[in-house]
């Protein structure tokens, strides 16, 4: 396996990682920002107020997009194993 092929595999792995983590992080950041604005406006500074909505939103996102995420990861792993079998 050449250095270029190894770098292509690492590049694809990073892309898959960003595709899997991106939606979860984006939802978490948006929910956190909305709650931070709400807390600043109402002066309610409760720690659990940010935690519970984030967990619920991420759980809902995993239910909705979980099958796509599993498929994406499974396809990447299948390509890796096919590449290893060809060595």
Q: List the one residue out of 3, 7, 17 whose CA is nearest residue 77.
A: 17
Distance from the Cα of residue 82 to its chain's centroid:
25
* Structure tokens that stand for 65 in this block: 């997009």
Q: How far apart are CA 11 and CA 21, in angstroms?
A: 15
Average predicted confidence (pLDDT) for the chain = 93
Q: What digits encode the pLDDT tens for the residues 3-12?
A: 999 999 999 9
pTM listed for this prediction? 0.81
| 57 in Cβ contact with 27 (< 8 Å) | yes
Residue 66: exposure state from Cβ atoms within 10 A (0-12, 13-18, ≥19): exposed
Looking at residue 49, what is its pLDDT? Answer: 84
Q: Place 58 in a pLDDT band, splitting at 50, 70 and 90.
A: very high
The yes-or-no verdict on residue 44 having pLDDT over 90 is no
The whole-number pLDDT of residue 47 equals 79
């Amino acid at each position: 396996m050449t250095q270029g092929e190894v770098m292509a595999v690492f590049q694809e792995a990073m892309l898959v990682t960003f595709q899997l983590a991106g939606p979860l992080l984006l939802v978490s950041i948006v929910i956190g920002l909305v709650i931070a604005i709400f807390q600043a406006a109402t002066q309610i500074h409760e720690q659990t107020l940010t935690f519970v909505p984030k967990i619920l939103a991420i759980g809902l996102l995993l239910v909705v997009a979980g099958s796509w995420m599993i498929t994406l990861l499974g396809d990447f792993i299948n390509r890796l194993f096919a590449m290893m079998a060809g060595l």
